[in-house]
Amino acid sequence: MESTLGTVHRQFVLFRLGAEEYGLPIERVQSIIRYEVPTPVPHAPEMVEGVINLRGQVIPVIDLAQRLLGAPIEHSAASRIVVAEAGSGLVGLAVGSAHEVATFSVDEIMPTPSAALSAETAEAFQGVANRDDRLVILLDPDKALPRVSYGPPIATEEAQDDV
């Protein structure tokens, strides 16, 4: 967090999912890359597009629109993958575009209107902020970014003993 004369500021990477604009805390974003079609993973949840190899590390790619809005993203030349730290490690977030870093004072961040959201969706948001006469939904990475696990459960010795 930055501070100027007692005012605390936070920076967010801004991106689009459809017509809506979202922000992730910059300290959780490792990089932003051009969208590349991920390699599909069998038995993965619907929101997992697959995996990519990023500098020797295999990273799951999540369709963030599917996760938050319930509908898949429509990829275009502007589409990007935001590589961010999630609870389970690095995850790639497929977004419509990523276009700027914005700084908001904590006084500018308003609470999310929870009455308009489901309980699951409401906890994914840190708040909302105005940016050039538009609203930006600020995500809580610990709640908005999924803990990704894919594939069928692997039998362990304990599970085999029960069979």
Specify the pLDDT at position 38: 97
Tell me which of 27-36, 42-51, 62-71, 96-105 is least confident: 62-71
Tell me which of 47-51, 113-117, 149-153 is least confident: 149-153
Specify the pLDDT at position 86: 84
pLDDT surpasses 50 at 150: no
pLDDT digits (tens, 9 = 90+) for 20-31: 999 999 999 999
- State the sign of the Cα–Cα–Cα–Cα dihedral 72, 79, 11, 53: positive
Average pLDDT over residues 70-93: 91
pLDDT digits (tens, 9 = 90+) for 117-147: 666 666 778 889 988 888 899 998 887 776 6
What is the three-state SS of the chain? Answer: CEEECCEEEEEEEEEEECCEEEEEEHHHEEEEEECCCCECCCCCCCCEEEEEEECCEEEEEEEHHHHHHCCCCCCCCCCEEEEEEECCEEEEEEECEEEEEEEEEHHHCECCCHHHCCHHHHCCEEEEEEECCEEEEEECHHHHCCCCCCCCCCCCHHHHHCC
**CA-based nearest residue to 112, from 95, 129, 99:** 129
Pair of tokens at residue 163: 């069979």
pLDDT digits (tens, 9 = 90+) for 23-57: 999 999 999 999 999 999 999 988 899 999 999 99
* pTM for this predicted structure: 0.80
Distance from C-alpha of 12 to C-alpha of 92, rounded to nearest angstrom? 17
